[in-house]
């Protein structure tokens, strides 16, 4: 990466690139995706550095030049609303990457992954998705409103998840890979699986695409059950129960932008809308509270298209109004 490119890319990451510079970066990414495809190192968290700290472009450029660090592989959703605007969308792209820049700084010192490889947190804001490659070559795709923390990386590979993620775990029989959530934990040595465990939601689930996984109640030593490809487990936090089911095959479609739902209560659907499109949803309607819906949403389509479709399924007399990032659901 030459000096001009470093300077331009630093401005992009710091959220200070103008419209023409953003277009130039995006064009270069399309022409030479490998240049931006993989992180050479995992930037590690060192000390209690505020995640809201925003480094200057010159500082970001220095990190890129000294460490030779490329952008982590990521996928960010297309503009979800004409109201938000395309420029705002790209600023949110930068917001996904800025915490990673901040992770590289503590006491004006750059820490490499080898120096502090047991800590690090990736957070993805509402309205976006992102993907990362970990130290061992494992790949993780994080859904909107999710966070992934590396808890340890010595005898075991252990991460803590809040939200939803698709894991492609590099095989290592001697070093198991653990995914820990509030209610359910997954142990693997190498496989592909999806975990959905958003904080505050009543149920979490694990769906297996390839390989095999063992399921535990978080904090317990006894294995509850194992999965084979095509199966999923649902954990009910209220009664602490596990249920094994045949997977639909759609559990990881969110990675391509589509979210499917079946008999979903409208309150939960409103939560999904807010997460997918980065909206604040105000539920003022009493009529719609008992409604359940089946269908799908695609974050790659404008929010207006999604609302037009949902409006057709709402009970008579219920309206939705979108103003900026606020969605109001009310009775006429």
Phi-psi region of 15 (alpha: psi -120 to 50; beta: other; left: phi over 0): left
Task: Give the list of residues 6+ apart from residue 128 with CB closer than 8 angstroms, or none.
Answer: 76, 77, 92, 93, 95, 96, 144, 278
106 falls within a domain:
yes
Question: Please, which pLDDT band fits residue 69 given cuts at 50, 70 and 90?
Answer: very low
pLDDT for 48: 27
Mean pLDDT of 12-22: 66
HSE (side-chain half, CA atoms, 13 Å) at 73: 14
Locate 326 and state its tokens. Answer: 């606020």
Mean pLDDT of 67-89: 36
Whether residues 91 and 140 fall in one domain: no
| Cα–Cα distance for residue pair 98/247, rounded to 1 Å | 36
Tell me which residue range forms the domain holding 46: 1-110
**178 pLDDT higher than 90:** yes
116 falls within a domain:
no
Among 208, 230, 255, residue at a domain's last position: 255
Locate 141 and state its tokens. Answer: 């795709």
Q: Is residue 181 within 8 Å of 206, Cβ to Cβ? A: no
**85 pLDDT higher than 50:** no
| Cα–Cα distance for residue pair 299/240, rounded to 1 Å | 32
CATH of the domain at 322: 3.55.50.30
Residue from 107, 113, 11, 9 nearest 54 by CA: 11
Is 227 or 32 the better-scoring residue by pLDDT? 227
Cα→Cα distances 284→272, 311, 318, 320, Å = 17, 15, 10, 10
Among 222, 237, 255, residue at a domain's last position: 255
Whether residues 144 and 226 fall in one domain: yes
- CB burial of residue 303 (10 Å; 0-12, 13-18, 19+): buried
Average pLDDT, the chain: 74
Question: Please, which pLDDT band fits residue 266 given cuts at 50, 70 and 90?
Answer: confident
Task: Give the list of residues 6+ apart from residue 28 with CB closer than 8 angstroms, or none.
Answer: 5, 35
Is 3 or 43 the better-scoring residue by pLDDT? 3
Mean pLDDT of 176-185: 95
Please give the tally of structural domains in the chain. Answer: 3
pLDDT for 310: 85
Give the pLDDT confidence of 212-250 residue by residue, as tens digits.
999 999 988 889 999 999 999 999 988 889 999 999 888
What are 330's strand-pairing partners?
Answer: 319
Mean pLDDT of 180-207: 93
Mean pLDDT of 80-95: 35
Whether residues 199 and 283 fall in one domain: no
296 falls within a domain:
yes
**193 pLDDT higher than 90:** yes
Q: Is residue 126 within 8 Å of 278, Cβ to Cβ? A: yes
Give the pLDDT confidence of 110-133 residue by residue, as tens digits.
222 333 334 578 889 999 999 988
Among 52, 76, 110, residue at a domain's last position: 110
3-state SS class at 202: coil
Range scoring the smallest mean pLDDT among 3-12, 64-73, 153-162, 322-331: 64-73
Range scoring the smallest mean pLDDT among 36-40, 139-143, 277-281: 36-40
**146 pLDDT higher than 90:** yes
Whether residues 270 and 235 fall in one domain: no
127 falls within a domain:
no
């Amino acid at each position: 990466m030459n000096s001009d490119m470093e300077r331009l890319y630093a401005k992009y990451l710091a959220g200070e690139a103008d419209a023409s510079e953003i277009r130039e970066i995006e064009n270069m990414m399309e022409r030479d995706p490998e240049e931006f495809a993989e992180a050479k190192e995992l930037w590690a968290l060192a000390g209690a550095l505020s995640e809201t700290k925003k480094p200057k472009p010159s500082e970001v450029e220095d990190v890129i030049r000294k460490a030779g660090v490329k952008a982590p592989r990521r996928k960010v959703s297309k503009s979800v609303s004409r109201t938000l605007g395309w420029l705002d969308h790209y600023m949110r792209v930068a917001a996904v990457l800025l915490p990673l820049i901040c992770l590289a700084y503590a006491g004006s010192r750059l820490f490499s992954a080898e120096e502090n490889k047991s800590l690090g947190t990736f957070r993805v804001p509402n309205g976006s998705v992102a993907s990362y490659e970990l130290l061992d070559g494992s790949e993780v795709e994080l859904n909107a409103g999710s966070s992934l923390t590396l808890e340890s990386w010595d005898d075991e590979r252990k991460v803590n998840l809040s939200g939803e993620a698709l894991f492609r775990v590099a095989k290592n029989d001697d070093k198991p890979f653990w995914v820990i959530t509030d209610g359910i934990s997954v142990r693997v040595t190498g496989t592909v699986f999806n975990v959905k465990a958003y904080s505050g939601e009543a149920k979490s689930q694990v769906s297996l695409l390839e390989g095999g996984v063992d399921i535990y109640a978080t904090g317990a030593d006894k294995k509850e059950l194992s999965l084979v490809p095509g199966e999923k487990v649902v954990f009910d936090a209220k009664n602490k129960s596990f249920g094994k089911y045949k997977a639909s095959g759609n559990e990881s479609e969110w990675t391509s932008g589509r979210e499917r739902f079946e008999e979903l209560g409208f309150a939960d659907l409103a939560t999904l809308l807010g997460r997918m499109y980065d909206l604040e949803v105000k539920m003022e309607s009493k009529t719609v509270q008992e409604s359940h819906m089946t269908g799908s949403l695609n974050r790659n389509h404008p929010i207006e298209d999604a609302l037009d479709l949902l409006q057709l399924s709402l009970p008579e007399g219920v309206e939705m109004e979108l103003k900026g990032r606020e969605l109001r659901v009310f009775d006429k």
